Amino acid sequence: MSEFTIIKNYFQVMTKRHKNTICGIGDDGAVSDVPSDCELVSCVDTLVLGRHFPMTTSAYAIGYKSVAVNLSDLAAMAATPYAILLGLSLPAKLACDEWLGEFARGIGGICREFGVELIGGDTTRSDVLTVSVTALGFVHKGRAITRAGAKVGDVVCVSGEIGSASYALSQVLIDKPTAWQHTLDLPIPQVTLGEVLRDYASAMIDVSDGLGQDLGHILTASGVGASIELDKIPCIDELKVLPDNQKWQHILNGGDDYQLCFTLSEENFKRLNSINPYAIFAIGKIVDGQGIELFHKGKLIEFEIQGWEHFK
Ligand code: ADP
Ligand code: MG
């Protein structure tokens, strides 16, 4: 199958035209209209088969997740997703209808769900399957939520259960089927909550490399510390029954959660709870100092935070 056939048959037809797109797939570059009251938020994430995905991952899940992780980054900036560009490095044996059809269905599915258009990309042959997605979104001028705004006294929250994908991966790696496979393969980016938090949060990040490490990024960027109550971090029952250290390993160091971790003032926390239809979970407080203090049953505990790192 030629590169041009691939583009025409699978990618050009995949998503609906977005109202801000002037020129999409088919020319040398895409042309987009940035609303005059907005700023452009952009991010890129590259996924390598065997490194970011178990070799057994379905083509559908690879397509879906490579977009989902980018929409999660946009959500963490409180941006509204607009479009993606797809850099695809494809082994020859996957350039077939069976694989590409499912891959495109995964990408198209999540794009449609969030009103995102595929406006361009690049297709090359390679020995290793690599999917690099660039995502673009809009946020009203000056309203992006960064990692740098957390203040002493703020409440630290997460948007949902943490550690499920890490638990699922541990089961996949020993060939055990698990009901939590979907949290690993098909994470739901918290786009709507991210948009709501634009009016409430003081700092925000998405949890991709482990809650401990990612919260650490907020603390470093904001120049503060945090006091976290481990028992308040929401998690699935399968994790609750594990020995404490194994449980915390999944929750604090696991990663691939794609939930949001954010801080907000006590007042905004109350305000948001009174109107918000989404579940948000307070897990601790921002304090003076640096780093994370972890409490279990009211007692300070020692646990080494060690998130995902590529070049260890
Ligand atoms: P060029 O040689 O000018 O870089 P290409 O022939 O690579 O252009 O691409 C032709 C068109 O197809 C461009 O609009 C490009 O953005 C789009 N395209 C190529 N690969 C992909 C892909 N994997 N997904 C989406 N669009 C793609
Ligand atoms: Mg060109």
What are 23-51's pLDDT values in tens digits?
999 999 999 999 999 999 999 999 999 88
Q: What is the predicted pLDDT for the residue at 178?
A: 96
CB distance 9 to ligand 1 below 6 Å:
no
Ligand with smallest separation from the Cα of 9: 1
Write down the pLDDT at residue 310: 67
Which helix (H) or strand (E) is 136 found in, with range? Answer: strand 130-140
Q: How large is the C-alpha radius of gyration of the chain? A: 20
CA distances from 288 to 151, 154, 221, 227 (A): 9, 11, 14, 10
* 104 pocket-lining for ligand 1 (C-beta < 6 Å): no
pLDDT digits (tens, 9 = 90+) for 278-305: 789 999 999 999 999 999 999 999 999 9
Å from CA of 29 to ligand 2 middle: 7
Per-residue pLDDT at 312: 59
How far is the C-alpha of 284 from the C-alpha of 260, rounded, in Å?
Answer: 15
Indicate whether 212 pLDDT > 90.
yes
pLDDT at 308: 72
Atom number in ligand 1 closest to CA 4: 6
How close is the Cα of 24 to the center of ligand 2, in Å?
A: 13
Average pLDDT over residues 246-272: 96
Q: Give 54 Cα–ligand 2 centroid separation in angstroms.
A: 34
Cα–Cα–Cα angle for 266, 269, 273, rounded to 5 degrees: 145
pLDDT at 236: 98
Atom of ligand 1 nearest to the CA of 25: 14
Q: What is the Å distance from ligand 2's center to 87 Cα?
A: 15
The whole-chain average pLDDT of the chain stands at: 95
In this structure, the residue with its CA closest to atom 7 of ligand 1 is: 122
pLDDT at 171: 95
110: pLDDT strictly greater than 90 = yes
